Amino acid sequence: MNTIISYAEEKMNKTTNVLVNEYASIRAGRANPAVLDKVTVEYYGVPTPVNQLAAVSVPEARTLLIQPWDKSSLKAIEKAIQTSDIGINPQNDGGAIRLNFPPLTEERRLELVKGVYKHAEDGKIAIRSIRRDAIDKLKEMKKKSEITEDDLKSAEKKAQDLTDRFCKEIDGIAAQKEKEILEI
């Protein structure tokens, strides 16, 4: 019974971590190297993440500097960024690539906030699904007389408490990201 609850907690924790990683890739007006996490470059026939081909730094609040260790990969990195969905044109100076993040318009900010809350809702749906699966397993154990009715009620309460805790955590993470996006 406790293994089912701890397994559910572990899965809920992973769901929250996925959401945090998803939020890291949403650009909020200031330069953040995490926007490049999903950009892969065709390097010697192998799709390779940009951060494994170059040093990525933030010299100014709205600028990312990408300095490839192998200068021959510069064009490939530039092309990968252009074809990605981050919406910023790279500027190649022959030795490094600069990404200048323009200030977000109010309309774009509100659009990003909507996306943040959609991801949060998807996360909460996943959390509730994990709770449902755990409770189904517990009911199955009750049906097989492996646990008592009291154990079932106690475990259901634990599962609900976990669900409430993680949903509240997701709301907090979403509110934090909204604040970051709306900050000018």
Torsion of CA 105, 108, 110, 115, to 10 degrees: -150
Please tell me the predicted confidence (pLDDT) of residue 25. Answer: 73
The pTM is what?
0.71
Q: Where are the alpha helices (DSSP H) in 25-105?
A: 74-83
Q: What is the mean pLDDT of the chain?
A: 88
Please tell me the predicted confidence (pLDDT) of residue 173. Answer: 93
What DSSP element (H or E) covers 17?
A: helix 2-24
64: closest CA among 39, 38, 28, 101?
101
Does the domain at 2-24+105-182 match CATH 1.10.132.20? Answer given as yes
Cβ(37)–Cβ(24) below 8 Å: yes
Write down the residue that tokens 């494994």 correspond to: 52
Q: How far apart are CA 32 and CA 161, in angstroms?
A: 35
Give me the CATH topology for the region 33-100: Gyrase A; domain 2 (3.30.1360)
pLDDT tens digits, one per residue of 94-105? 889 898 887 778
Please tell me the predicted confidence (pLDDT) of residue 27. Answer: 65
Q: How far apart are CA 99 and CA 83, in angstroms?
A: 14
Give residue 2's pLDDT band: very low, low, confident or very high (50, 70, 90): confident
pLDDT reading at 123 higher than 70: yes
What mean pLDDT comes out for the span 34-50?
84
Residues 6+ apart with CB under 8 A from 129: none
Range list for CATH 1.10.132.20 in the chain = 2-24+105-182
Please tell me the predicted confidence (pLDDT) of residue 171. Answer: 95
pLDDT reading at 29 higher than 70: no
Range list for CATH 3.30.1360.40 in the chain = 33-100
pLDDT reading at 3 higher than 80: yes
Please tell me the predicted confidence (pLDDT) of residue 184. Answer: 62
**Cβ count within 10 A of residue 162:** 21
Please tell me the predicted confidence (pLDDT) of residue 6. Answer: 92
**Cβ count within 10 A of residue 150:** 8
Give residue 62's pLDDT band: very low, low, confident or very high (50, 70, 90): confident
Looking at the DSSP bridge assignments, the partners of residue 47 are: 42
To the nearest whole percent, how much of the chain has pLDDT over 90?
38
